[in-house]
Structures are given as structure tokens and as C-alpha cells.
Structure 1
């Protein structure tokens, strides 16, 4: 059975899922932190995210455009929303392994700020979320930031090509436009990171992955990824700093934020493999489980070239599900993937089952290990799976 209206639905969804993962947690009511005046009322972000904010005064994405580096590494305040997502695997000197994800989302409330005397007046809010899984310890550690762009607490500078939210920041330091160097800092209580990042490959535009058609501009978003950045720096856990190094993946997107809810579910896979290769896969499905899921994959080779594969060339199936005790939502968390034309077979295994990003919007964003074979030889890797919840079809209707 085919899904109806696919052309209208497929193009925007894979980028919007990345946005939704970082927006998890914004659905709660924003209240002023201890640095702001307690009497200042703030809007319900749940109402903002699931209503039509409109585009008055903002630049709209109506078609694809070539990437512009180094400018696109910086912020794009002329657009309604923007996100930066980084994830990767780090190791310390003793062989300890740590998988992390850090995201910062900017949501503009108005294109221009009305003149107001208060230093706390703001027309944008910023959300940050850091999760960390330690290989030799159960559970997921996390930290979060949520604040307004006021009094210097949060902001994004297009000229300096940086974004910050309190004591967290991501900034471009130097390097070639296509091989940038960046600095990532996420301090404070809980897990903390301070990493220098060096791109090992040129940026890849989402449109160039060839996953769901090239007209990605119709989604209302521009986006690119840096799929392999060498990382070196310090990870602090329980007050103890340790030197780490590893590989990090960066997604950067800007445009209109998603509003409303969809009946279409989406699974996204982003895996860093041995042999300096990366795999991106998407699977579109009906949220109620009916119909035939539609997969698409792209393999980024060591030289940056992209090979794309469509549904008849891919075998993708969930082999394990996890039921959230908080929301009751059911998520596919372990997968088997094969692309016969590549002689690629992978098992994708979650490092922890309980990696629900938010129980209100029903999103699971989890670190995974990859094990399998490519061209008859063993291959391994690590990355993330983002998936919306599966909702059983209601009977008797």
C-alpha cells in the first residue's frame, strides 16, 4: 500500500525531525530563571511551537540555494528558527568511551524587538540540551539550558559565527571555509565538555544526499552537515576532568520551525563507520503502523562523494522496541539494515533503551553502536537514531 500525498509530505520531514529532537523540552512552560525578574511573564512555548507563528518580517526559504561558506557556519538571525546539533563518541586515555549529543535551538518570537527600556526584553528564546552515555555505567546523564536572548544570557552572532546560551557556546575559530575549525564549550553542573573540532570533510548539503528529492528548499529549511570532525579536549564528570578525543558529527539548519502535528512518522539514522565513511538513512512511515515504510540511504565516502540508495535497494527492519514508562509510547530502538548492492549489513544496537528525548512530543533520540560487514569484511561504527513514536491503529473505526 502506498502512502498518499508523499510528494507533499516527504521533502520537509527529515529535516524537521532533527528540529523536533532539539525542540523536545521546549514544550514545557518557560519560567524566568534566577537571573531574571520573577515578575516578568513569559509565553507558553508549547503554544508557540504548535501554533502558526507566521513569517512576517522573516526571510522565508522558498527554493534551494548554494551553500555560502564560511558565512553559513554562523548564525542566520533573519530566519525564524535555527538549530545546531552535535553528537559523537569520545575516548579517554584509559580507553573509557563516552557518547554524547548536544543541541542548541533558537526560536525567534518576532523579527524586530519593539523599543523597551528593560534589559530583560527579548524577542527570542534559546534551548540547549546535553546528554551523555558512559560505556561502563548504566543510564543517561543530562544537562539543559533554557533562557531568553536578553542581558547577554544567550545569542547568536552572524559576524563572529558563534552561538551561546549561558555557559555553553559553539564558535568558528579558523581553518579553511570547507574545512572549518570550531570550539565547543558546555560547562556548568553535570557533564561538561570543552572540545576543539577540526572538520575532516567538506560540508554536505542535505539536498545533495539525494534522499527524498533535491528540492529541499520546499521544506522551508536550509541545512548542511559536517559528518566527521576530529575532536580533542576535556570531558568533566562528577567534577573530574579527563582528556578525551574522538569523532563528532554536526548538523546545522535554519528556516521555519515545524508547527502542528503529523500523522507521518519518521526514523533517521546517522552513523559514522570505519574506513572514514558515514551513512545517513531515513524511513518514512504511517504513525499508526499501516502501509509500507519507505527507506532511503546515502553513503558518504572517504573523499566526500555521495552514493544514494532508494527503497528497492534497502532492507531495513526494527528488531527491538522499547515502551516508555513515562509516556507509554512505543519506539523502535534496535535495527537491522542491509544494502545488498554494497554488500553492507549492519546491526544497530542502542547503548541505552531509555533515551526518550521528550514524552510530550514523543521522540526518541538515542546513541547506537553499529556492527556488521561491508564487502565481506567486518565493519563497525557509532551514531544516533532519531525516531517518532509508533501509535497503534485504533480498531473499530
Structure 2
């Protein structure tokens, strides 16, 4: 998916080190400030990229930006429902901007992480974030297989191959410990090895997902620990290019249908509200085969709005997602209106990402499922890098 890393990077262009503390200095962060100058220090996503697993589950330090993004729906045996998000972001600093080499305190890789839990039954939304630099064991990612961490938050494969994945995170009053087993192999998005994010050369990323991960483990909220099972989704994406200057934000959708199909759609949104032609999606069939969807295949219609009482931002409240060529019409309804992750001292960014229920029809026959939606650029315009 298109990640908040590209927004967070705006806030982290300069890093101040004070002893063991890493502090983001908010320079150039105001709306309309010029983007960082083009850099040739990092590799661009190019057509023809050949994925190799488990290597590609690991970090790709030759690219400027990378993320590992988990979302999912969980449930207890008694029927109590939850949604969760655990995300790790890596942001590389260009070598010519690292002024403290060869000190081991040098910052050339910055890591951020988000943890959010939607207590659907309890009607509460919990979110936390972390930020740290690579080095001295504080944060990092292995380049050979899935193992990314920030302090005690981590995502890793138990056997190195990525076939089984484990998530661990704990913050004030919230903790999760989950094991995820893929029901399908990884799905590569886009065409010819790249997921386009614009018309310019290199304006793309390498992007794949585990769209169906059987999930089990423990979730703690306050003093209560719940044994939960469910289904999760994992995105892994890496690239280095700039987004187009006229983009205000994006809307991203991951949908898991009850008939064992999955759907990913993202809409790059211009300042006038129109969709960029680079917007696209992927339909994953029950047997794991995929169908690429272009911007012209997808229709997205907001059905109502919700205004945050805290940020005052107004977001689409419900969505209708249609693929006319398939006769597919889906209605996406948030399971809790307020699933907004708001500005903190670490991230300085506000966006909405949350669990939704899915109902609809295909060729007139009823469908249902669950999903997640991410909406950015509503609280403040995003004009940043991939």
C-alpha cells in the first residue's frame, strides 16, 4: 500500500541527536514547502524486478523508503470483535546528508512503527507509535528474511522462510502476540514487477501482499487478555521516487471476501478530488491467481462523511466500490466511526485507518466480507515521497 512513511518523512528531514535520544526536527513540514531535491543515491523501482523469497521479505536498503504493514480482524470464541494494525516503516538518509560518519551513532536508517487496536465490541480505538534509529540494536531489519523490529515491537518469520510470521507489540494498556500462517502465496501488485504511483519514469514501487493470513494469539486491552483468532493482511512495499506535486492524498482498500477472494484498491487523489490515472488494484481469486485492475476499471463513491471531533478533518464515512466489468458492487462501512490516528510527538501526522464490514452483490448475488481502509490527506495535504 501507499504508506504514511512518505508523509512522516517530511517531518524527519533533519535529525537531532542528544545523547541516546533521537528527535525529529520539524523543518520544511508546512503545507506547500518545497520537496527534498532529487537524489540519485537510491535505487528506483524498475520494470522487470524478479522477486525472490525469503530474501524479499527482508529489508531493501538500496531503496529510500520501505514498510511492512499488517492489518486484520480478530474475534474471541464468545464473539467479541477487534481490528488491529501493526506497521513498521524504514526511511533511509542519503549518504551525503549523514554528517556524523563513521560514528556508530550515525543515523542512516530511521524506523517508525504504529500500533492500533479497534475494540469493536467495546467501541474504543487505541493507537500508539514509536520512532528510533537503526544501530545499537534499537531498531532494524534483516536483509535476508522477515525480521523487522523497533524496541520490543517486531515482525519476524519463525523459520526464516516467511511461511509463518509472528507479531509482538506492547504499549500502554494494549498488547498483541499473534502467529500468522499464509493461506495463499504472496501476491505481486501492478504490472511487470512494479506498482505505478505516477506517470514519470521510476515513479513506482515494488509491492506485494499476503492477502489471507490465518491468525491466532493473544490480545490484551487494559487488564483483560483475550484469546483470539481471525484473518490478517500483510503489505510489503519499497521504492524511492517522488509523488506528483498535485496529489492531495490517497484512499487505500483491502477487502477479504467470504468466498476466499481478496481485493486491493488504491486511489491517488488530486487536489480537485479526481483520481490519478496511476491508481489501480488487484483482484485475488480463491486459487491465488490474480487480475490487475486499472484506474478505469474501478469506481469509488463516498456515501456520507464523518468529521473528527479532534482534528476537525472530514473523511468519507462509508464507501461504495464498484468494478462494472465484473458486476461487482461493494458497500464498505466502518465498524467504528473514530479510527483516526492523530498527531503525536513522534509522527506529527493525522490520518484515518480502520476496520470495515463489507456487503454487496456480484451479478446480483449477495456477497459479504471484511476489510481495512486507509485515508490520508484529509486532515492535511500530503505532498511527499514514495
Identify the TM-score tier after normalising by the shorter chain.
0.7 to 0.9
Aligned length: 368
What residue number does 1:114 align with?
101
Q: CA–CA distance in 1 between the matches of 2:276 and 2:241? A: 25
Q: CA–CA distance in 2 between the matches of 1:53 and 1:104? A: 25
What residue number does 2:384 align with?
none
Whether the aligned pair in 1 keeps the contact of 2:356 and 2:373 (CA below 8 Å) is yes
Q: C-alpha deviations, 1:217-245, integer Å up to 9, x for none?
A: 83242211111111111111113322111
Q: CA–CA distance in 1 between the matches of 2:354 and 2:339? A: 5
Note if 1:243 corresponds to 2:227.
Answer: yes
Unaligned runs of 5+ in 2: 381-386
In the TM superposition, residue 53 of structure 1 has moved relative to its aligned partner by 6.3
Do the aligned partners of residues 323 and 21 (structure 1) sit closer, same or farther apart at CA in structure 2, a change above 3 Å counting? farther
Q: CA–CA distance in 1 between the matches of 2:226 and 2:3? A: 31
Moved more, 51-60 or 221-230: 51-60
Q: What TM-score does the superposition give when structure 2 sets the normalisation length? A: 0.82
Do the aligned partners of residues 314 and 62 (structure 1) sit closer, same or farther apart at CA in structure 2, a change above 3 Å counting? closer
In the TM superposition, residue 283 of structure 1 has moved relative to its aligned partner by 3.1
Do the aligned partners of residues 389 and 79 (structure 1) sit closer, same or farther apart at CA in structure 2, a change above 3 Å counting? closer
Q: C-alpha deviations, 1:64-114, integer Å up to 9, x for none?
A: 412111110111122222111100101112111110111111112244771
What residue number does 1:170 align with?
155
> What RMSD, in angstroms, separates the aligned Cα atoms of the two structures?
3.6
In the TM superposition, residue 266 of structure 1 has moved relative to its aligned partner by 2.7
Equivalent residue for 1:380, pick from 348, 365, 368? 368
Do the aligned partners of residues 227 and 261 (structure 1) sit closer, same or farther apart at CA in structure 2, a change above 3 Å counting? same
What residue number does 2:351 align with?
363
- Give the 3-state SS of the residue equivalent to 2:185 in structure 1: coil
In the TM superposition, residue 312 of structure 1 has moved relative to its aligned partner by 5.5
What residue number does 1:191 align with?
174
What residue number does 2:109 align with?
124
Equivalent residue for 2:185, pick from 195, 202, 212? 202
Equivalent residue for 1:142, pick from 120, 127, 140? 127
In the TM superposition, residue 391 of structure 1 has moved relative to its aligned partner by 9.2
Do the aligned partners of residues 334 and 105 (structure 1) sit closer, same or farther apart at CA in structure 2, a change above 3 Å counting? same
- Give the 3-state SS of the residue equivalent to 2:4 in structure 1: helix
Q: C-alpha deviations, 1:183-215, integer Å up to 9, x for none?
A: 111124332111111111111112249986999
What residue number does 1:27 align with?
11
Equivalent residue for 1:154, pick from 114, 139, 151? 139
Q: CA–CA distance in 2 between the matches of 1:192 and 1:303? A: 34
- Give the 3-state SS of the residue equivalent to 1:187 in structure 2: strand
- Give the 3-state SS of the residue equivalent to 2:158 in structure 1: strand
Do the aligned partners of residues 236 and 22 (structure 1) sit closer, same or farther apart at CA in structure 2, a change above 3 Å counting? farther
Note if 1:351 corresponds to 2:339.
Answer: no
Moved more, 128-137 or 346-355: 346-355
Q: CA–CA distance in 2 between the matches of 1:234 and 1:317? A: 36
Q: CA–CA distance in 1 between the matches of 2:323 and 2:60? A: 37
Q: CA–CA distance in 1 between the matches of 2:133 and 2:342? A: 21
Q: CA–CA distance in 2 between the matches of 1:233 and 1:77? A: 31
Whether the aligned pair in 2 keeps the contact of 1:170 and 1:183 (CA below 8 Å) is yes
Note if 1:44 corresponds to 2:29.
Answer: no
Do the aligned partners of residues 296 and 149 (structure 1) sit closer, same or farther apart at CA in structure 2, a change above 3 Å counting? closer
Q: C-alpha deviations, 1:347-384, integer Å up to 9, x for none?
A: 10012222333466553222211112234443211111
In the TM superposition, residue 337 of structure 1 has moved relative to its aligned partner by 2.4
Structure ranking higher in helix proportion: 1
